[in-house]
Amino acid sequence: MAVYLDSWHKFEESMGGIRPVLTGTAEEMRTQFSGLISFLATQRTRTWDTLTVKDENVNGIVIRIYIPNSFEGEYAPVGVFYHSGGFVVGDLDSEDDFCRTVSADANIAVISVDYRLSPEHKAPAQLGDALAIFEWIYKNAKRIGVCSSRMFTIGTSAGGALALAVTRKVVLGQSTVPADTVKGIFALCPLVVHPLNVPTEYKTLYTSFEEHKEGVPIIDKACLLEMYNCAGLQPNDKNYYPVLDTESLKRFPPTHIVTCDNDPLRDDGKILSSALSASGVAVDTKHFDGLPHCFWIIPSLPESEVFLQDLIQGVKEAVKVASISIN
């Protein structure tokens, strides 16, 4: 049985003893997720007055641009962010606080992408949107106020899969930007493998999907399988599961990975870390015991602040390295 930190139990008590988990159809999960995000918004205590934030429509894809005011007249490093939600739920608002915090505290621009969702839009629609916006940012960097030579991909859960997938397209030359454009990846509780097609060499690492198949917060096995089905993800699709393409991994930039103990996707992160390390890629992995998938969306948890400060430090270090490389 999964063991949780006291702070998590206190959060569940604040919800009347309810353990939040997404269940049912896509529409039902969207309603549940919206309700959870609305509840969490009542816990917000921070405001951000050092950022300029605006939305822009790029060929039908809406993005939200966050730029610290300190960069007025300069070009800011930029993290292109892909939100969580299993390709089924989520939007620009669901992780708006996260984007504001990273932008303000790490002192970088963040551009969040409202990619199309499933089941209305099957794969590879999400990856197509994610890559198209990355390329658009590179082409329009000066107009936006960002630096095209200091670009990073950042993603949570399914968004982490997109951050990895976009990077793979770029490093393989399957995009309109130079192959070395992505200077670093931040994959937070990422979706990395399909449970029906775990590479043989990693099967002994892959236990969390069954270990946390039910009774865990946010997502469980049934939820994930429904999301995979909605998206039409094929188990052998290298575009969405880059660890199936070991040759491309050798070209990946330094990668920061976050995993959570009580998460069906915990071992996805472990497999990613192992595969990248075996390919000679610099990997920094942070693991959080006693906590579920993407726990940091809950601002009242003290561990959320620990996660954020660690991530922000990682972003600052990545920006520093990228800045040195272009000088």
Q: Is 103 left (phi over 0), alpha (psi -120 to 50) or beta?
A: alpha
DSSP letters, 232-288, are T--TT-TTT-GGG-HHHHTTPPPEEEEEEEE-TTHHHHHHHHHHHHHTT--EEEEEE
Catalytic residue check, 263: yes
Among 157, 175, 208, 248, the one annotated catalytic:
157
Q: Catalytic residue among 96, 263, 267, 268, which?
A: 263
In the set 83, 212, 256, 293, the catalytic residue is: 293
Place of tokens 């999907």: 209
| Token pair in block for residue 219 | 């997502």
Q: Distance (Å, rounded) from C-alpha 189 to C-alpha 102? A: 17
Based on the residue annotation, tell me whether 55 is a catalytic residue of this protein: no
Do residues 210 and 221 touch, judged by C-beta distance below 8 A? yes
String of DSSP letters for 29-80: HHHHHHHHHHHHHTT------SEEEEEEEETTEEEEEEEEGGGTTSPEEEEE
Taking the C-alpha atoms of residue 31 and residue 22, their distance in angstroms, rounded to an integer, is 9
What sign does the CA torsion over 233, 234, 239, 240 have?
positive
Q: How far is CA 180 from CA 148, 216, 250, in A?
A: 11, 39, 12
Assess contact for 324 and 38: CB atoms under 8 A: no
Token pair in block for residue 275: 């595969």
**N-to-C CA span, the chain:** 52
Q: Name the token pair of 40.
A: 């969490």
Query: What is the number of other CB atoms lying within 10 angstroms of the CB of residue 157?
Result: 28
Whether 293 is a known active-site residue: answer: yes
- Residues with catalytic function: 157, 263, 293
